[in-house]
Amino acid sequence: MKQLTTAQRIVIGFAIAPLALVGLVFYALHDLATLKQQSAQIVQQDWPKIAPIMVIATGVRDNGRNTRDLLIDADNQAAQASIGSTRQRITEAFATLEPLLDTAEGQAAYATLKTHRETYVAAFTQVQALIKQGAREQGLAQLKQQVMPAELAVFKSLDALMAMQGRVFAEREQAAQLLYDDARRTMLGLLLLCVALVVTAAVIVTRSVIRPLGGEPDEAARVLSHIAQGDLTIEVPLCNSAEGSVMRNLHQMQQNLNQMVRQIAASVDGVASSSEELSAVSSQTSSSLQSQGQEIEQMIGNIRQDTEHAVAAMHSSSERVQATLGVAQRSGEALDEITRSISQINERNMMIASATEEQALVAREVDRNLVGIRTLSQQVLQGALHTETAGHDLAGMAGALHQTVARFKV
């Protein structure tokens, strides 16, 4: 049953009732066919035997009455004609009755009836002959002594046949009653079986549908609707047999969502505070970098100005040394000591000039480094501005996430 889908289970559950009803109908049709067969036997085999028996009994009685009429009036042509036609009807009734009595008892009763009828016909024929001869007294005596006993024997044979047919009808009735009782019991049993099958199928199908849900479908739909709307405070009803069911999974999902939303809310608060701190730090860094950039620019300007002053002073000192050297040379070689002193001064000035050039190179290198520092400071400033913008964006995202989390009720 677990391997079947829900649709297949429902189809099987709903198919049991029609199939049981079809089986009940077929059984009822079988019983009706049996009843029809019983009715056909009564109509086609049993009842047709009654008609010739009644014709024979009526004919014998009519001929007895006609014989008495002839004894009263020997010239009664109507009575004579009636006797002939009645005899013909009786003969035809015997011919009709003989093939209908197909049992041994029926054939024996028919043979007895036929013998009694032949005796009756022989005695009756003698009475008719005596009446035609005018021997009324002898005919009356013959009627009393032979015809009437033969007539009684015929009626007894007819009564035996009627009794036999009565027993046949009784057997048919008993068989029909037994068939009815059996059909009634069977139909009631099948009906109870169908009801039990339908109830069992309904219970099995309902349990197979409800058990995976863990509750009523409407209840599951209501819980899902609340969870879809963000209400995680709804209580999920659980039953004892709801292990692995939809309701149990909904309850677990609700607990997980509650925990996840709480964690997200805490993370959002942390992200928001971190974003605020990052924004504040970025603002401070930007301000600090701007002030440091201004100080560095001012320092670079001062260094550049001092360097230019030093270079100018060095050039001025060099020019003075050259002028002093020219004066010393023009003064002659007489002043050797002065010349040596001037040479020493010249060497010192050359050293100063060389040192000045080195200092100028160092100043230019410092200037390039300061320019690089300024460029790097500007890049750091731009990075700080980007960081500040990212902090504001992150704070906005944290606010949006906080609003999203606020939709859930935990």
Task: Read off the amino acid at residue 114.
Answer: K
- In terms of DSSP H, where are the helices of 216-335? 217-228, 246-331
Domain termination residue (choose one: 212, 238, 272): 212
Domain termination residue (choose one: 212, 228, 246): 212
Residue 108 forms part of a structural domain: yes
Task: Read off the amino acid at residue 15.
Answer: A
**Where are the extended beta strands (E) located within 32-128?**
none
Question: Which tokens belong to 170?
Answer: 């009784």
Nearest to 63 by CA among 42, 92, 88: 88
Backbone phi and psi for residue 332, each to the nearest 5 degrees, phi listed first:
100, 175
Residue 253 forms part of a structural domain: no
Tell me which residue has tokens 């440091």.
292
How far apart are alpha carbons 184 and 31 in whole angstroms? 10
Element (H, E) at 116: helix 104-133
The pTM of this model reads 0.44
Residue 364 forms part of a structural domain: yes
Q: What is the pLDDT along the chain (410 residues), one digit of tens a residue?
A: 566 676 676 777 677 777 877 887 887 788 778 777 777 666 666 677 787 888 888 888 887 777 777 777 666 677 777 777 888 888 888 888 788 777 888 888 888 888 888 888 888 788 778 877 878 788 788 878 887 888 888 888 888 888 888 887 788 788 878 888 888 888 888 888 888 888 887 888 777 767 666 666 677 777 777 777 777 677 767 766 556 566 677 777 777 777 777 777 677 676 667 656 656 655 665 566 566 657 666 766 666 676 566 556 556 655 654 654 564 466 556 556 656 765 666 676 677 667 667 766 766 776 677 677 777 767 766 766 776 676 677 667 767 766 765 666 66
CA angle, corner 179, sides to 176 and 184, nearest 5? 125
Residue 341 forms part of a structural domain: no
Do residues 126 and 146 lie in contact, with contact meaning Cβ atoms separated by under 8 Å? yes
How far apart are alpha carbons 268 and 399 in whole angstroms? 8
Residue 232 forms part of a structural domain: no
Number of folded domains that form the chain: 2
Question: Which tokens belong to 108?
Answer: 């024996």
Question: Which tokens belong to 357?
Answer: 């050039």
Residue 20 forms part of a structural domain: yes
Do residues 317 and 349 lie in contact, with contact meaning Cβ atoms separated by under 8 Å? yes
Domain termination residue (choose one: 212, 247, 273): 212
Task: Read off the amino acid at residue 285.
Answer: T
CATH no. for residue 152? 1.20.120.1730
Residue 324 forms part of a structural domain: no
Domain boundaries, position 70: 6-212
Backbone phi and psi for residue 356, each to the nearest 5 degrees, phi listed first:
-65, -40
Residue 396 forms part of a structural domain: no
